[in-house]
A and B are shown apart, each in its own frame.
Chain A
Amino acid sequence: MTPSDEELTLLELTDRLLNRGVVLAGEAVISVAGVDLIYLGLNVVLTSVENLRNRREPSAIRDHNAAAG
């Protein structure tokens, strides 16, 4: 099963922001615990993507995968 491009983009977005983003040690008093959304798998995304359908997708993260099918 291949996720749709929309789901992929949302997964990629949360993956970048939560897992790859620059983490500052020390001064930040509050930080998100090590949540690895890739490990949570696509199920969370598949069930919750409905909630985002009416919201705007990040605009400049262009869809380069449409041509690939």
Chain B
Amino acid sequence: MSRTLVYLYAILGQPLDLNLAGIAEQPVRWVQASNLAAAVSDVPEEDFEEEPLNANVRNMAWLGPRAIAHQDVNERLFESSDAIVPLAFGTVFRDDARVRDLLTREASRLRDQLARVRGCAEWVVALHQLGEPNVQATPAVKALKTQIEASAPGRAHLLRRQLATLERDEARRIQSEAATLLLDALRSAAVDVFNEPLPADAVERPLVRASVLARRDAEAEFMNQIDRLRQQWPEPTYRLLLTGPWPPYRFAGLQRDAV
């Protein structure tokens, strides 16, 4: 490799005795200071200088394999330790000395972040609505239908028009309540929940999307809760998507007071 920069994957409380290959198959090594250990590897300057890097990340053919390599390293570190602070893709330093500077200067904050996610994994839960929710069982719709059956033909005709409006309103209400109900249910089974902002122009926009921090030793309970939620919002009207366990990319970055 010609000239190189130092690529940072994650920060841990101590180095791990693992033989890992990072981006471009370069060996992962440790830079240590202030009782913290940074997992790094060397990357070519021609790809990872600021300008080429910011162009490269928009090219999925370039980004894909490197993102997978970044995640592979962090996944092994995550599985082999009780706490890691996984960095965003593309955190690059000129040399090891600057990594040590960072560890020294941010030691206190980094230790807080490690403590925050210790023993926990991150999950992503998204609820999509694929069809119209069933409103026939709601009390308001049932009541109006009973009223229609008991009414004379003329009045029943008027009430049937009201019924169409009511059904539409009920569908909207169910949809807007789903986000709140799902977040509450997740909170009951998790250490922390972060409601992710939804972009307005996404191709497929979920009703709600959340990052969830859950104890790794209570994964079975968490999965049971997900099963219950899938029953509460069943297919084919809804689809509840779950990915994980992730290293805590989201939660290790959150400041305590921002949650």
Q: Is the CB of B57 within 8 A of A32?
A: yes
Residues of chain B within 8 A of A55, CB atoms compared: 64-65, 68
Q: Kindly provide the distance from the CB of B214 to the nearest chain A CB, expressed in whole angstroms.
A: 13
- CB distance B68 to A51 under 8 Å? no
Q: Which one of B98, B101, B245, B250 contacts A60 once the chains associate, using CB atoms below 8 Å?
A: B245
Of residues 1 to 27 in B, which have CB atoms within 8 Å of A's CB atoms? 5, 8
Task: Pick the contact of B246: A16, A36, A51 (CB < 8 A).
Answer: A16
Chain A: interface residue count, which band? Answer: 35 or more
Residues on A with C-beta less than 8 A from B250 are 16, 20
Query: Is the Cβ of A38 less than 8 Å from the Cβ of B199?
Result: yes
Selected contact of A30 from candidates B60, B92, B243, CB within 8 Å: B92
Q: Is the CB of B92 within 8 A of A28?
A: yes
Q: Which residues of B contact A28 (CB under 8 A)?
A: 8, 91-93, 102
Binary interface encoding of chain B residues 237-253 relative to chain A, with 1 for a CB under 8 A from any of its CBs, else 0: 00111111110011011
Whether the Cβ atoms of A44 and B91 lie closer than 8 Å is: no
| Residue in B75, B105, B240, B249 whose beta carbon sits within 8 Å of that of A22 in the complex | B249
Q: Which of B60, B87, B90, B128 contacts A44 (CB 8 A)?
A: B60
CB-CB nearest in chain A for B59: A48
Residue of A32, A35, A60, A62 with most partner-chain B CB within 10 A: A32
- 5 nearest interchain CB pairs? A21-B88, A48-B60, A32-B90, A27-B102, A22-B253
> Given A16-B71, A68-B230, 15 other A-B contacts at CB below 8 A?
A12-B124, A18-B57, A22-B87, A27-B102, A28-B102, A29-B50, A29-B92, A30-B48, A30-B53, A31-B91, A32-B53, A58-B75, A59-B75, A61-B246, A68-B239
